[in-house]
């Protein structure tokens, strides 16, 4: 067993990482699905969307060939509606709420129609939004991810001049760096960021990290308000023996490398174990398999009923040939010559529900041992505790505490993953919109 890269041919990589949810091949195919929609007056699909996209309206606009109107309906509610059409867990949001599910019929493919309506608008930068004249207010946004870009766009449309400070060399945040490559391409992410910036009034300063290149105190002095959307990104450690061995990595870094270095440059093992069962764990497992790993095993300490990923995501892993071990928790990683060779796990059983409503895993006296040469940790992410505490920001367990997007510091607002601990892209987009509303209200109150 060995961890190597460049296992496959260029053609195999391209095939393995091709679009997992391809678009409609023809206009007629899109119209057939759009015309199935019942255009519900009290639409449950709209209610289930965190950004409240008017789904029946944008689908009706597709049926009348009003593509600019359809794109505007979507992007006015969710400026990252194009990206969300590719990565949203729609089976538990809009499509899961579709009334056709109650009729034992296939739900309207809302995400696919949303992609159909937005893709050309984003690629060609259709001028859908008019920016009001500059009102003299200046806002600093920390983080060019979904929350930060959503907030920046909403503010800019109202005439606020926005400067976004981003620690990476590209914008998009999680969309660009943290999602499986077969769901959304780096090229699309770049197009989407450029579309958002095309409204004008937004400048992104890259390679600028809060706490290193810039300080909150400095931003408060130079701008009329500050919006924090720096997310979460520190991988949770397993705190077990052998975690330092070669071949043990975290899913965030693994996915980041795939997104930034290219498929052939990312090393992968023959026998890979992935710890966790969230979306990030699934993305890491499926991509390890598509990079050429012979065996990939997902290890989760609860049962399928408690898994945080969706059924559809789990099925992707299964179809890719990933194995799953339920009710197992990592105990230690052992190895030789500094390299991981085995993962020992405790067999668990479920007890009473915890505060989240999921049953608590309890360790038994049994163990199992897996032969591995690579272990990918995907057991969740930790907030930036040092950054938060050093700036005296109120928080709960490292998650920023806010009141209608306001932090405990006057003029400093926050939203997205740094507040919610890591929800969906669409939740972060809505948080950015909420932040913009709060900032505009703050300006009004100070007149």
CB atoms within 10 A of CB 315: 11
Which residues contact residue 121 at a Cβ distance below 8 angstroms, ignoring those fewer than 6 apart? Answer: 67, 68, 71, 75, 82, 128, 195
Q: Does residue 307 lie in a domain region?
A: yes
Asked if residue 312 and residue 364 are part of one domain, the reply reads: yes
Residue 411 to residue 414: CA distance in whole angstroms? 10
pLDDT at 1 over 70: no
End-to-end CA separation in angstroms for the chain: 67
Asked if residue 118 and residue 26 are part of one domain, the reply reads: yes
Query: Are 178 and 12 a contacting pair, CB within 8 Å?
Result: no
Pick the last residue of a domain from 59, 92, 123: 123
Residue closest to 189 by CA, chosen among 205, 173, 201: 173
Asked if residue 361 and residue 228 are part of one domain, the reply reads: no
Residue 262 to residue 291: CA distance in whole angstroms? 10
Asked if residue 372 and residue 257 are part of one domain, the reply reads: yes
Residue 364 to residue 361: CA distance in whole angstroms? 10
Asked if residue 164 and residue 92 are part of one domain, the reply reads: no
Q: Does residue 4 lie in a domain region?
A: no
Please state the rounded mean pLDDT for residues 33-40.
98
Asked if residue 223 and residue 158 are part of one domain, the reply reads: yes
Asked if residue 110 and residue 175 are part of one domain, the reply reads: no
Residue 319 to residue 219: CA distance in whole angstroms? 48
Query: Are 172 and 163 a contacting pair, CB within 8 Å?
Result: no
Residue closest to 2 by CA, chosen among 378, 369, 341: 341
SS3 of residue 195 by DSSP: helix
pLDDT at 259 over 80: yes
Which residues contact residue 128 at a Cβ distance below 8 angstroms, ignoring those fewer than 6 apart? Answer: 68, 71, 72, 75, 76, 121
Q: What is the pLDDT of residues 169-189, one digit of tens each?
A: 999 999 999 999 999 999 999
Q: Does residue 40 lie in a domain region?
A: yes
Alpha-helical segments (H) within 291-384: 311-319
Asked if residue 369 and residue 393 are part of one domain, the reply reads: no
Beta partners for 377? 250, 275
Residue 157 to residue 72: CA distance in whole angstroms? 14
Asked if residue 218 and residue 246 are part of one domain, the reply reads: no
Asked if residue 199 and residue 77 are part of one domain, the reply reads: no
Question: Residue holding tokens 């194009």?
Answer: 82
Residue 114's domain comprises: 21-123
The percentage of the chain sitting over the pLDDT mark of 70, rounded to a whole number, equals 100
CA angle 286, 290, 292 (to 5 degrees): 125
Asked if residue 113 and residue 61 are part of one domain, the reply reads: yes
Query: Are 405 and 442 a contacting pair, CB within 8 Å?
Result: no
Residue 437 to residue 434: CA distance in whole angstroms? 5
Q: Does residue 128 lie in a domain region?
A: no
Alpha-helical segments (H) within 41-173: 44-47, 55-63, 67-77, 81-87, 94-97, 110-123, 146-157
Pick the last residue of a domain from 380, 398, 419: 380
Residue 422 to residue 150: CA distance in whole angstroms? 16
- The CATH number given to whatever domain includes residue 345 is 3.50.50.60
Residue 120 to residue 192: CA distance in whole angstroms? 11
Predicted local distance difference test score (pLDDT) of residue 92: 94
SS3 of residue 403 by DSSP: strand
Q: What is the pLDDT of residues 343-381, one digit of tens each?
A: 999 999 999 988 878 889 999 999 999 999 999 999 998
Which residues contact residue 13 at a Cβ distance below 8 angstroms, ignoring those fewer than 6 apart? Answer: 263, 264, 290, 291
- The CATH number given to whatever domain includes residue 68 is 1.10.1060.10
For residue 274, what is the enclosing H or E element?
Answer: strand 271-275
Q: What is the pLDDT of residues 189-234, one digit of tens each?
A: 999 999 999 999 999 999 999 999 999 999 999 999 999 999 997 8
Q: Does residue 67 lie in a domain region?
A: yes
User: When comparing pLDDT for 356 and 240, which is higher?
Assistant: 240
Residue 140 to residue 150: CA distance in whole angstroms? 13
Predicted local distance difference test score (pLDDT) of residue 446: 81
Pick the last residue of a domain from 329, 361, 380: 380
Q: Does residue 281 lie in a domain region?
A: yes
Rounded alpha-carbon distances, angstroms, from residue 231 to 142, 321, 374: 10, 32, 27
Tally the domains of the chain: 3
Residue 175 to residue 148: CA distance in whole angstroms? 12
Please state the rounded mean pLDDT for residues 378-386.
92
Q: Does residue 287 lie in a domain region?
A: yes
Alpha-helical segments (H) within 250-302: 251-261, 279-290
Asked if residue 251 and residue 151 are part of one domain, the reply reads: no
Residue 106 to residue 85: CA distance in whole angstroms? 18
Rounded alpha-carbon distances, angstroms, from residue 229 to 38, 50, 146, 226: 38, 17, 8, 10
Question: Residue holding tokens 């950004």?
Answer: 51
Alpha-helical segments (H) within 129-183: 146-157, 174-177
Q: Does residue 133 lie in a domain region?
A: no
Q: What is the pLDDT of residues 279-304, one digit of tens each?
A: 999 999 999 999 999 999 999 999 99
Q: What is the pLDDT of residues 62-90, one digit of tens each?
A: 999 999 999 999 999 999 999 999 999 99
Predicted local distance difference test score (pLDDT) of residue 215: 98
Predicted local distance difference test score (pLDDT) of residue 234: 83
């Amino acid at each position: 067993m060995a961890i190597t890269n460049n296992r496959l041919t260029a053609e195999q990589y391209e095939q393995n990482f091709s679009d997992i949810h391809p678009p409609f091949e023809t206009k007629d195919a899109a119209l057939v699905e759009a015309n199935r929609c019942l255009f519900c007056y009290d639409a449950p699909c709209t209610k289930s969307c965190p950004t409240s996209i008017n789904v029946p309206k944008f689908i009706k606009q597709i049926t009348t060939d009003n593509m600019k109107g359809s794109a505007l309906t979507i992007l006015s509610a969710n400026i990252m509606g194009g990206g969300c059409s590719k990565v949203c867990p729609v089976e538990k949001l809009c499509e899961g709420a579709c009334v056709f599910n109650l009729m034992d019929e296939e739900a309207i493919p809302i995400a696919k129609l949303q992609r159909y309506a937005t893709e050309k608008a984003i690629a060609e930068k259709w001028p859908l939004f008019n920016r009001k004249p500059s009102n003299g207010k200046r806002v600093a946004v920390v983080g060019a991810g979904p929350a930060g870009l959503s907030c920046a766009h909403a503010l800019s449309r109202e005439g606020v001049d926005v400067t976004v400070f981003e620690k990476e060399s590209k914008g998009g945040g999680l969309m660009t760096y943290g999602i499986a490559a077969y769901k959304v391409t780096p090229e699309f992410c770049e197009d989407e960021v450029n579309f958002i910036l095309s409204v004008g009034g937004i400048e992104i300063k890259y390679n600028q990290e809060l706490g290193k290149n810039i300080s909150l105190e400095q931003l408060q002095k130079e701008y009329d308000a500050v919006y924090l959307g720096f997310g979460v990104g520190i991988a949770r450690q397993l705190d077990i023996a052998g975690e330092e061995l070669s071949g043990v990595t975290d899913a965030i870094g693994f996915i980041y490398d795939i997104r930034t270095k290219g498929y052939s440059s990312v090393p992968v093992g023959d026998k890979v174990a992935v710890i966790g069962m969230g979306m990030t764990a699934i993305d890491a497992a499926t991509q390890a398999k598509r990079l050429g790993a012979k065996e990939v095993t997902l290890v989760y300490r609860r049962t399928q009923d408690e898994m945080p990923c969706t059924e559809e995501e789990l099925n992707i892993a299964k179809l890719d040939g990933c194995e799953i071990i339920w009710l197992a928790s990592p105990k230690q990683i052992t190895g030789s010559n500094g390299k991981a060779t085995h993962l020992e796990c405790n067999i668990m059983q479920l007890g009473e529900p915890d505060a989240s409503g999921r049953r608590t895993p309890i360790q038994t006296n049994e163990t199992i041992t897996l032969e591995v040469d690579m272990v990918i940790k995907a057991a969740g992410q930790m907030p930036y505790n040092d950054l938060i505490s050093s700036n005296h920001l109120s928080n709960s367990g490292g998650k920023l505490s806010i009141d209608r997007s306001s932090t405990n510091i006057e003029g400093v607002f926050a939203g997205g993953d740094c507040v919610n601990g890591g929800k969906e892209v669409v939740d972060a987009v809505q948080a950015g919109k909420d932040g913009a509303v709060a900032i505009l209200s703050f300006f009004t109150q100070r007149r």
